[in-house]
Protein backbone atom coordinates (compact mmCIF):
# COMPACT_ATOMS: atom_id res chain seq x y z
CA UNK A 1 0.00 0.00 0.00
CA UNK A 2 2.78 2.32 1.01
CA UNK A 3 4.50 1.54 -2.22
CA UNK A 4 1.26 2.02 -4.16
CA UNK A 5 0.60 5.36 -2.36
CA UNK A 6 4.05 6.56 -2.91
CA UNK A 7 3.83 5.37 -6.51
CA UNK A 8 0.54 7.22 -6.86
CA UNK A 9 1.85 10.32 -5.13
CA UNK A 10 4.97 10.64 -7.22
CA UNK A 11 3.22 11.68 -10.44
CA UNK A 12 0.92 14.09 -8.52
CA UNK A 13 3.83 15.69 -6.71
CA UNK A 14 5.81 15.84 -9.91
CA UNK A 15 2.93 17.41 -11.85
CA UNK A 16 2.25 20.01 -9.17
CA UNK A 17 5.94 20.94 -8.89
CA UNK A 18 6.08 21.11 -12.66
CA UNK A 19 2.98 23.34 -12.80
CA UNK A 20 4.28 25.65 -10.08
CA UNK A 21 7.59 25.92 -11.94
CA UNK A 22 5.78 26.81 -15.17
CA UNK A 23 3.70 29.46 -13.37
CA UNK A 24 6.85 30.94 -11.82
CA UNK A 25 8.62 30.93 -15.18
CA UNK A 26 5.66 32.57 -16.90
CA UNK A 27 5.32 35.22 -14.19
CA UNK A 28 9.00 36.00 -14.29
CA UNK A 29 9.07 36.12 -18.07
CA UNK A 30 6.06 38.51 -18.06
CA UNK A 31 7.98 40.66 -15.62
CA UNK A 32 11.08 40.60 -17.80
CA UNK A 33 9.08 41.31 -20.95
CA UNK A 34 7.46 44.20 -19.13
CA UNK A 35 10.85 45.58 -18.15
CA UNK A 36 12.24 45.07 -21.66
CA UNK A 37 9.23 46.79 -23.18
CA UNK A 38 9.71 49.68 -20.82
CA UNK A 39 13.40 49.90 -21.73
CA UNK A 40 12.50 49.83 -25.41
CA UNK A 41 9.83 52.45 -24.91
CA UNK A 42 12.34 54.67 -23.17
CA UNK A 43 14.87 54.02 -25.93
CA UNK A 44 12.45 54.78 -28.72
CA UNK A 45 11.45 58.03 -27.00
CA UNK A 46 15.11 59.02 -26.89
CA UNK A 47 16.88 60.31 -29.99
CA UNK A 48 20.45 59.64 -31.05
CA UNK A 49 21.63 62.95 -29.53
CA UNK A 50 20.16 61.93 -26.14
CA UNK A 51 22.20 58.74 -25.97
CA UNK A 52 25.30 60.84 -26.71
CA UNK A 53 24.52 63.79 -24.44
CA UNK A 54 27.51 63.04 -22.20
CA UNK A 55 29.80 62.56 -25.20
CA UNK A 56 29.44 65.06 -28.06
CA UNK A 57 26.79 66.86 -30.12
CA UNK A 58 25.34 64.81 -32.98
CA UNK A 59 24.80 66.73 -36.18
CA UNK A 60 23.34 66.26 -39.63
CA UNK A 61 23.85 67.90 -43.01
CA UNK A 62 20.63 69.36 -44.35
CA UNK A 63 18.98 71.27 -47.15
CA UNK A 64 16.11 73.66 -46.32
CA UNK A 65 13.61 71.12 -47.69
CA UNK A 66 14.64 68.63 -44.99
CA UNK A 67 13.30 71.00 -42.36
CA UNK A 68 9.59 70.47 -42.90
CA UNK A 69 7.10 67.72 -42.03
CA UNK A 70 8.17 64.31 -40.77
CA UNK A 71 11.86 64.89 -41.54
CA UNK A 72 11.87 68.04 -39.42
CA UNK A 73 10.41 66.08 -36.49
CA UNK A 74 12.90 63.26 -36.93
CA UNK A 75 15.77 65.78 -37.13
CA UNK A 76 14.64 67.57 -33.95
CA UNK A 77 14.44 64.25 -32.14
CA UNK A 78 17.82 62.88 -33.15
CA UNK A 79 20.22 65.74 -33.79
CA UNK A 80 21.38 68.85 -31.96
CA UNK A 81 23.63 70.35 -34.62
CA UNK A 82 23.04 71.24 -38.28
CA UNK A 83 25.42 71.72 -41.19
CA UNK A 84 24.04 73.20 -44.42
CA UNK A 85 24.90 70.52 -46.97
CA UNK A 86 25.24 72.99 -49.86
CA UNK A 87 23.58 76.36 -49.32
CA UNK A 88 26.48 78.08 -47.54
CA UNK A 89 29.01 77.07 -50.17
CA UNK A 90 30.53 79.96 -52.14
CA UNK A 91 28.71 79.30 -55.44
CA UNK A 92 25.32 79.25 -53.72
CA UNK A 93 25.66 82.00 -51.13
CA UNK A 94 27.80 84.30 -53.29
CA UNK A 95 26.76 83.60 -56.89
CA UNK A 96 28.22 86.77 -58.43
CA UNK A 97 30.72 89.41 -57.45
CA UNK A 98 28.36 91.79 -55.73
CA UNK A 99 25.52 89.41 -55.12
CA UNK A 100 24.89 87.36 -51.99
CA UNK A 101 21.95 84.99 -51.61
CA UNK A 102 21.17 84.45 -47.95
CA UNK A 103 17.63 83.07 -47.89
CA UNK A 104 18.38 79.33 -47.83
CA UNK A 105 21.22 79.59 -45.32
CA UNK A 106 19.08 81.86 -43.15
CA UNK A 107 16.31 79.23 -43.10
CA UNK A 108 18.68 76.61 -41.72
CA UNK A 109 20.16 78.95 -39.12
CA UNK A 110 16.68 80.07 -38.01
CA UNK A 111 15.47 76.47 -37.71
CA UNK A 112 18.51 75.62 -35.60
CA UNK A 113 18.04 78.64 -33.38
CA UNK A 114 14.37 78.04 -32.77
CA UNK A 115 15.09 74.42 -31.85
CA UNK A 116 18.14 74.98 -29.68
CA UNK A 117 20.60 73.43 -32.13
CA UNK A 118 24.16 74.39 -33.01
CA UNK A 119 25.21 75.26 -36.57
CA UNK A 120 28.48 74.36 -38.28
CA UNK A 121 29.20 76.60 -41.26
CA UNK A 122 30.37 74.78 -44.40
CA UNK A 123 32.49 75.95 -46.20
CA UNK A 124 34.32 79.23 -46.79
CA UNK A 125 37.16 78.29 -49.12
CA UNK A 126 37.04 75.29 -51.43
CA UNK A 127 37.93 74.31 -54.98
CA UNK A 128 34.42 72.86 -55.45
CA UNK A 129 31.11 74.74 -55.70
CA UNK A 130 32.81 78.11 -56.11
CA UNK A 131 31.58 80.42 -58.85
CA UNK A 132 33.96 80.61 -61.83
CA UNK A 133 33.55 84.43 -61.58
CA UNK A 134 35.72 84.38 -58.44
CA UNK A 135 38.82 83.67 -60.54
CA UNK A 136 38.04 85.66 -63.69
CA UNK A 137 38.00 89.32 -64.66
CA UNK A 138 35.36 91.07 -66.79
CA UNK A 139 36.86 89.75 -70.04
CA UNK A 140 37.25 86.20 -68.74
CA UNK A 141 40.97 86.39 -68.00
CA UNK A 142 42.36 84.84 -64.81
CA UNK A 143 42.61 87.45 -62.06
CA UNK A 144 45.81 88.37 -60.25
CA UNK A 145 46.69 87.08 -56.81
CA UNK A 146 45.76 90.46 -55.31
CA UNK A 147 42.28 90.38 -56.84
CA UNK A 148 41.69 86.74 -55.86
CA UNK A 149 42.73 87.40 -52.26
CA UNK A 150 40.61 90.57 -52.07
CA UNK A 151 37.59 88.57 -53.26
CA UNK A 152 38.26 85.80 -50.79
CA UNK A 153 38.54 88.33 -47.98
CA UNK A 154 35.25 89.97 -48.94
CA UNK A 155 33.55 86.57 -49.18
CA UNK A 156 34.76 85.33 -45.80
CA UNK A 157 34.12 88.63 -44.03
CA UNK A 158 30.56 88.98 -45.34
CA UNK A 159 29.52 85.40 -44.67
CA UNK A 160 31.11 84.99 -41.24
CA UNK A 161 29.90 88.43 -40.06
CA UNK A 162 26.31 87.71 -41.06
CA UNK A 163 26.21 84.58 -38.89
CA UNK A 164 28.43 85.82 -36.08
CA UNK A 165 27.24 84.34 -32.81
CA UNK A 166 24.85 81.98 -34.64
CA UNK A 167 27.31 79.70 -36.40
CA UNK A 168 29.68 78.37 -33.74
CA UNK A 169 32.17 76.66 -36.06
CA UNK A 170 33.35 77.13 -39.62
CA UNK A 171 34.96 74.78 -42.11
CA UNK A 172 37.24 77.58 -43.21
CA UNK A 173 39.28 75.54 -45.62
CA UNK A 174 38.07 72.39 -47.31
CA UNK A 175 40.17 69.72 -49.05
CA UNK A 176 43.32 71.72 -49.82
CA UNK A 177 45.65 68.71 -49.61
CA UNK A 178 46.17 66.47 -52.62
CA UNK A 179 45.45 62.70 -52.70
CA UNK A 180 48.82 61.54 -53.90
CA UNK A 181 51.05 58.89 -52.41
CA UNK A 182 54.04 61.01 -53.30
CA UNK A 183 54.61 62.80 -50.01
CA UNK A 184 56.45 65.65 -51.74
CA UNK A 185 53.20 66.68 -53.47
CA UNK A 186 51.27 68.52 -50.77
CA UNK A 187 48.70 70.98 -52.04
CA UNK A 188 45.82 70.37 -54.39
CA UNK A 189 46.29 72.18 -57.67
CA UNK A 190 43.13 74.24 -57.15
CA UNK A 191 42.44 77.68 -58.67
CA UNK A 192 43.19 79.17 -55.23
CA UNK A 193 46.58 77.50 -55.07
CA UNK A 194 47.42 78.19 -58.72
CA UNK A 195 46.67 81.87 -58.37
CA UNK A 196 47.76 82.56 -54.78
CA UNK A 197 50.24 79.85 -53.78
CA UNK A 198 50.06 78.82 -50.11
CA UNK A 199 49.27 82.31 -48.91
CA UNK A 200 45.48 82.05 -49.18
CA UNK A 201 45.44 79.36 -46.48
CA UNK A 202 46.70 81.40 -43.54
CA UNK A 203 44.78 84.45 -44.78
CA UNK A 204 41.49 82.56 -44.91
CA UNK A 205 41.80 81.60 -41.24
CA UNK A 206 42.87 85.11 -40.23
CA UNK A 207 39.93 86.77 -42.00
CA UNK A 208 37.45 84.30 -40.50
CA UNK A 209 38.90 84.96 -37.06
CA UNK A 210 38.68 88.73 -37.50
CA UNK A 211 35.03 88.46 -38.53
CA UNK A 212 34.06 86.27 -35.55
CA UNK A 213 36.81 85.84 -32.95
CA UNK A 214 34.73 83.31 -31.01
CA UNK A 215 34.06 80.94 -33.91
CA UNK A 216 35.88 77.61 -33.89
CA UNK A 217 37.87 77.40 -37.12
CA UNK A 218 38.34 74.08 -38.90
CA UNK A 219 40.46 72.56 -41.59
CA UNK A 220 38.20 69.87 -43.13
CA UNK A 221 39.21 66.98 -45.38
CA UNK A 222 38.58 63.34 -46.38
CA UNK A 223 41.01 60.39 -46.30
CA UNK A 224 42.44 61.94 -43.14
CA UNK A 225 43.19 58.44 -41.79
CA UNK A 226 45.32 57.43 -44.78
CA UNK A 227 48.83 57.80 -43.29
CA UNK A 228 50.43 59.64 -46.25
CA UNK A 229 47.62 62.21 -46.50
CA UNK A 230 47.21 62.39 -42.72
CA UNK A 231 50.86 63.35 -42.36
CA UNK A 232 50.68 66.00 -45.07
CA UNK A 233 47.70 67.56 -43.30
CA UNK A 234 49.44 67.27 -39.93
CA UNK A 235 52.53 69.05 -41.30
CA UNK A 236 50.47 71.83 -42.83
CA UNK A 237 48.53 72.38 -39.59
CA UNK A 238 51.71 72.30 -37.53
CA UNK A 239 53.24 74.96 -39.74
CA UNK A 240 50.13 77.13 -39.54
CA UNK A 241 50.00 76.86 -35.75
CA UNK A 242 53.69 77.70 -35.46
CA UNK A 243 53.05 80.85 -37.51
CA UNK A 244 50.23 81.82 -35.11
CA UNK A 245 47.42 81.17 -37.60
CA UNK A 246 44.05 80.82 -35.79
CA UNK A 247 43.19 77.25 -36.74
CA UNK A 248 41.45 75.48 -33.85
CA UNK A 249 40.21 72.12 -35.06
CA UNK A 250 40.22 69.47 -37.73
CA UNK A 251 37.26 67.89 -39.43
CA UNK A 252 37.64 64.25 -40.41
CA UNK A 253 34.93 64.11 -43.04
CA UNK A 254 34.31 60.43 -42.39
CA UNK A 255 33.13 59.32 -45.85
CA UNK A 256 34.09 55.80 -44.94
CA UNK A 257 33.20 52.34 -46.15
CA UNK A 258 32.81 49.08 -44.34
CA UNK A 259 36.49 48.06 -44.80
CA UNK A 260 38.17 51.39 -44.28
CA UNK A 261 39.63 52.99 -42.21
CA UNK A 262 40.91 50.32 -39.85
CA UNK A 263 40.37 50.89 -36.13
CA UNK A 264 44.10 51.52 -35.74
CA UNK A 265 44.24 54.14 -38.49
CA UNK A 266 41.20 55.90 -37.04
CA UNK A 267 42.76 55.97 -33.57
CA UNK A 268 46.12 57.13 -34.93
CA UNK A 269 44.57 59.99 -36.91
CA UNK A 270 42.61 61.30 -33.93
CA UNK A 271 45.66 61.04 -31.67
CA UNK A 272 48.02 62.61 -34.16
CA UNK A 273 45.85 65.64 -34.92
CA UNK A 274 44.93 66.23 -31.32
CA UNK A 275 48.62 66.10 -30.32
CA UNK A 276 48.76 69.52 -32.00
CA UNK A 277 46.21 70.79 -29.46
CA UNK A 278 43.44 70.76 -32.07
CA UNK A 279 39.93 69.54 -31.35
CA UNK A 280 38.62 66.85 -33.67
CA UNK A 281 35.19 66.31 -35.20
CA UNK A 282 33.77 63.82 -37.64
CA UNK A 283 32.05 66.29 -39.95
CA UNK A 284 30.50 64.25 -42.79
CA UNK A 285 29.94 60.75 -41.43
CA UNK A 286 28.53 58.05 -43.67
CA UNK A 287 29.44 54.43 -44.33
CA UNK A 288 28.63 53.18 -47.81
CA UNK A 289 28.02 49.46 -48.22
CA UNK A 290 30.33 49.47 -51.26
CA UNK A 291 33.98 48.95 -50.45
CA UNK A 292 35.49 50.55 -53.54
CA UNK A 293 34.59 51.92 -56.94
CA UNK A 294 35.15 48.46 -58.46
CA UNK A 295 32.87 46.70 -55.96
CA UNK A 296 29.71 45.01 -57.29
CA UNK A 297 27.34 47.92 -57.30
CA UNK A 298 23.60 47.81 -56.95
CA UNK A 299 23.84 44.52 -55.07
CA UNK A 300 21.48 46.04 -52.53
CA UNK A 301 21.40 46.03 -48.76
CA UNK A 302 22.16 42.31 -48.36
CA UNK A 303 22.34 40.78 -44.86
CA UNK A 304 26.14 40.37 -45.26
CA UNK A 305 26.63 44.02 -46.18
CA UNK A 306 24.27 45.12 -43.44
CA UNK A 307 26.33 43.16 -40.92
CA UNK A 308 29.60 44.66 -42.12
CA UNK A 309 28.08 48.11 -41.82
CA UNK A 310 26.86 47.35 -38.29
CA UNK A 311 30.36 46.18 -37.34
CA UNK A 312 31.97 49.30 -38.78
CA UNK A 313 29.58 51.70 -37.06
CA UNK A 314 30.06 49.85 -33.75
CA UNK A 315 33.83 50.08 -34.06
CA UNK A 316 33.87 53.75 -35.05
CA UNK A 317 31.52 54.89 -32.29
CA UNK A 318 33.40 52.84 -29.71
CA UNK A 319 36.59 54.68 -30.68
CA UNK A 320 34.82 58.06 -30.70
CA UNK A 321 33.29 57.45 -27.25
CA UNK A 322 36.64 56.39 -25.86
CA UNK A 323 38.18 59.59 -27.18
CA UNK A 324 35.33 61.86 -26.13
CA UNK A 325 37.72 64.35 -24.53
CA UNK A 326 39.23 65.02 -27.95
CA UNK A 327 36.03 64.86 -30.01
CA UNK A 328 33.73 67.89 -30.05
CA UNK A 329 31.11 66.72 -32.51
CA UNK A 330 29.98 64.01 -34.91
CA UNK A 331 27.88 65.03 -37.91
CA UNK A 332 26.17 62.73 -40.42
CA UNK A 333 26.16 63.66 -44.09
CA UNK A 334 22.44 63.48 -44.91
CA UNK A 335 19.44 62.53 -42.86
CA UNK A 336 18.54 58.99 -43.86
CA UNK A 337 18.96 56.34 -46.56
CA UNK A 338 16.02 57.99 -48.35
CA UNK A 339 18.60 60.26 -49.95
CA UNK A 340 22.38 60.29 -49.79
CA UNK A 341 24.79 62.32 -51.91
CA UNK A 342 26.39 58.93 -52.69
CA UNK A 343 23.30 57.55 -54.46
CA UNK A 344 23.34 57.25 -58.23
CA UNK A 345 20.65 55.87 -60.55
CA UNK A 346 20.79 52.09 -59.94
CA UNK A 347 23.22 52.45 -57.05
CA UNK A 348 21.91 53.09 -53.60
CA UNK A 349 24.57 53.19 -50.90
CA UNK A 350 22.50 52.85 -47.68
CA UNK A 351 25.19 54.71 -45.71
CA UNK A 352 23.29 56.17 -42.74
CA UNK A 353 21.76 55.07 -39.43
CA UNK A 354 18.16 55.70 -40.50
CA UNK A 355 16.35 53.84 -43.28
CA UNK A 356 14.24 55.14 -46.15
CA UNK A 357 11.25 55.41 -43.79
CA UNK A 358 13.35 57.46 -41.36
CA UNK A 359 13.36 54.56 -38.89
CA UNK A 360 16.49 53.54 -36.96
CA UNK A 361 18.40 50.70 -38.64
CA UNK A 362 20.00 47.79 -36.78
CA UNK A 363 23.29 49.70 -36.86
CA UNK A 364 21.58 52.52 -34.93
CA UNK A 365 20.65 50.18 -32.07
CA UNK A 366 24.25 49.00 -31.86
CA UNK A 367 25.56 52.56 -31.83
CA UNK A 368 23.34 53.47 -28.86
CA UNK A 369 24.13 50.25 -26.94
CA UNK A 370 26.90 51.06 -24.47
O1 LIG B 1 26.61 66.50 -50.39
C2 LIG B 1 27.07 67.45 -51.30
C3 LIG B 1 26.41 67.22 -52.65
O4 LIG B 1 25.02 67.46 -52.56
C5 LIG B 1 27.03 68.10 -53.71
O6 LIG B 1 26.50 67.76 -54.98
C7 LIG B 1 28.54 67.90 -53.71
C8 LIG B 1 29.23 68.78 -54.74
O9 LIG B 1 30.60 68.53 -54.74
O10 LIG B 1 29.05 68.20 -52.43
C11 LIG B 1 28.58 67.33 -51.45
O12 LIG B 1 29.17 67.60 -50.20
C13 LIG B 1 30.59 67.46 -50.12
C14 LIG B 1 31.07 68.37 -49.04
O15 LIG B 1 30.65 69.68 -49.27
C16 LIG B 1 32.59 68.33 -48.92
N17 LIG B 1 33.05 66.98 -48.72
C18 LIG B 1 32.57 66.01 -49.66
C19 LIG B 1 31.03 66.05 -49.71
C20 LIG B 1 30.53 64.96 -50.63
O21 LIG B 1 30.96 65.18 -51.94
- Residues with a known catalytic role: 175, 284
Residues 6+ apart with CB under 8 A from 23: none
Q: Which CATH number fits domain 48-367: 3.40.1360.10, 3.20.20.80, 3.30.1340.30, 1.10.3720.10?
A: 3.20.20.80
- Mutate which of 86, 219, 222, 342 to test ligand 1's pocket (most atoms within 8 Å of Cβ)? 86
* Cβ–Cβ under 8 Å, residues 353 and 364: yes
Residue nearest to atom 6 of ligand 1 (CA): 341
pTM over 0.95: no
Query: Could you tell me the residue ranges of all domains in the chain?
Result: 48-367
Which residues form the pocket of ligand 1, taking CB atoms under 6 Å from any ligand atom? Answer: 85-86, 128-129, 174, 253, 284, 341
State residue 43's pLDDT score. 83
State residue 207's pLDDT score. 99
CA of 65 to the centre of ligand 1 (A): 17
- Mutate which of 85, 220, 282 to test ligand 1's pocket (most atoms within 8 Å of Cβ)? 85
CA of 8 to the centre of ligand 1 (A): 80
Q: What is the mean pLDDT of each run of 10 residues along the chain (370 residues)?
A: 43 58 53 48 89 98 98 98 98 97 98 98 98 97 98 98 98 98 97 98 98 99 98 98 98 98 98 98 98 86 97 98 98 98 94 98 97
CA of 37 to the centre of ligand 1 (A): 40
Residue nearest to atom 21 of ligand 1 (CA): 341
State residue 245's pLDDT score. 99
State residue 172's pLDDT score. 99
Residue nearest to atom 19 of ligand 1 (CA): 284
Amino acid sequence: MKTILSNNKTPITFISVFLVAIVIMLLSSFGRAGRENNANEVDTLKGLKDFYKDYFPIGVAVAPNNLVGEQAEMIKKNFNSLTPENVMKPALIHPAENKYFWDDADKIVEFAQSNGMKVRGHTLCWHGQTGAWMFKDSIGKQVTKEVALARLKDHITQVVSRYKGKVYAWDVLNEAIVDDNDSSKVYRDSPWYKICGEEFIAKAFQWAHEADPKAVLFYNDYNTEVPVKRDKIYNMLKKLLKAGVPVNAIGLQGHWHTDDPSEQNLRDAIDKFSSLGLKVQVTEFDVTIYTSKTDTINIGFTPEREQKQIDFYKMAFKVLREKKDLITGVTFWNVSDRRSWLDRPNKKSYPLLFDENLKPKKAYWEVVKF
